[in-house]
Homo-oligomer: A and B are copies of this chain.
């Protein structure tokens, strides 16, 4: 059934409903706010009339008046070309954040990062498009986030904790992820490990440091070489690894990749170069994507709990909107050993 009869011209303002119900506009307003002051009978009558006429409260007038939007902006890097597979991990996180937002009856405004400049995000808030912002990922360098922290913009970030705790983050324990990887490599007797990532991203830098610490602690004088990549797709992993193998004589015996997608690309490149995985080279990814499990060679990887993460991001942001100053949080990190 079409819920709103087409015949009746649908009414668009409280005044009109008020007139029909023979009450004041303010009474209609109270009915829609479910005010306890209001006589239940009056309320029911008003709501019935409104429904019959396809009336809904104008959200913009409401937002203007109350100075509250009930909207949260979620900023996520969307790949500009569709060639590069959209980062599945962030979509998973987006999904979990969205759940948390529905539950709290807030709208989700999906945004792409504009210039990495605090100004853009300040104006999102000052123009009253959203009450707060959730950033899915820090990107390389977080200076602009520190800048943003100096303003009145309420926001939380998925990513590595800021050393100076200038803003609130939720992230996996990246250092631990690095340590688990290092321990695994050490245990397998690996000595020439490649870190295929990007240390400009705070998260990656933490992983890298954990990796180094663990390998050092194990004491078998391993060497870590960095292969810098600009993004974390399969294609990038594949071509970075291929290029590396073409250029260098020394073969790595282990690779720690910045994401599962990268890890899969690395495995493909390795196989094409006739290196056995995991015989000659061990490979460990990050995120435990669903597809990591069903890859050609089920991928060994670091898992983080995105569902919990999504909930935490939302929760922290709401605490902030309530005037609190929430602390950063970590979600646990775990090594999933499969066949690489």
**A98 within 8 A of partner (CB):** yes
Contacts of A112 in B (CB 8 A): 98, 102
Given the known interface contacts A95-B82, A129-B107, A295-B296, the answer about A119 and B60 at a Cβ–Cβ threshold of 8 Å is no
**A250 within 8 A of partner (CB):** no
Listed by A's residue number, 12 A-B pairs whose Cβ atoms lie within 8 Å are A3-B118, A4-B119, A6-B151, A12-B126, A58-B64, A59-B128, A78-B99, A85-B290, A291-B291, A291-B294, A291-B295, A295-B295
Interface of A is mostly: mixed
Contacts of A55 in B (CB 8 A): 126
Given the known interface contacts A3-B122, A150-B2, the answer about A56 and B95 at a Cβ–Cβ threshold of 8 Å is no
Contact of B60 with A78 in the complex, beta carbons under 8 Å: no
Instruction: Return the contact of A108 from the options B2, B61, B102, B109 (Cβ within 8 A).
Output: B109
Give residues 1-19 of A contacting B (CB, 8 Å). Answer: 1-4, 6, 10, 12
Q: Which A residues are within 8 Å of any B CB, using their own CB?
A: 1-4, 6, 10, 12, 54-61, 63-64, 69, 74, 78-80, 82, 85-86, 88, 91-92, 94-96, 98-99, 102, 107-112, 117-119, 122-123, 126-129, 147-148, 150-151, 234, 264, 268, 290-291, 294-296, 306-307
Contact of B306 with A82 in the complex, beta carbons under 8 Å: yes
Contacts of A60 in B (CB 8 A): 60, 63-64, 69, 128
A84 closest partner in B (C-beta): B290
A297 closest partner in B (C-beta): B296
A128 to B56, CA, bound (A): 9
A148 to B1, CA, bound (A): 9
A149 closest partner in B (C-beta): B2
Contact of A59 with B127 in the complex, beta carbons under 8 Å: yes
A96 closest partner in B (C-beta): B82
Contacts of A69 in B (CB 8 A): 60
Contacts of A6 in B (CB 8 A): 150-151
Contacts of A307 in B (CB 8 A): 82
Instruction: Return the contact of A107 from the options B57, B92, B98, B109 (Cβ within 8 A).
Output: B109
Contact of A98 with B127 in the complex, beta carbons under 8 Å: no
Nearest-CB distance from A61 to chain B (Å)? 5
Please indicate which of the listed interface residues A119, A126, A295 has the most CB atoms of chain B within 10 Å of its own CB.
A126
Please indicate which of the listed interface residues A96, A98, A294 has the most CB atoms of chain B within 10 Å of its own CB.
A294
A58 to B125, CA, bound (A): 10
A86 closest partner in B (C-beta): B95
A226 to B192, CA, bound (A): 53
Nearest-CB distance from A148 to chain B (Å)? 8
Contacts of A10 in B (CB 8 A): 126
Contacts of A147 in B (CB 8 A): 1-2
A134 to B150, CA, bound (A): 37
4 residue pairs, one from A and one from B, having the closest CB atoms: A3-B119, A291-B291, A85-B290, A56-B127
A111 to B126, CA, bound (A): 24
Contacts of A82 in B (CB 8 A): 92, 95-96, 306-307
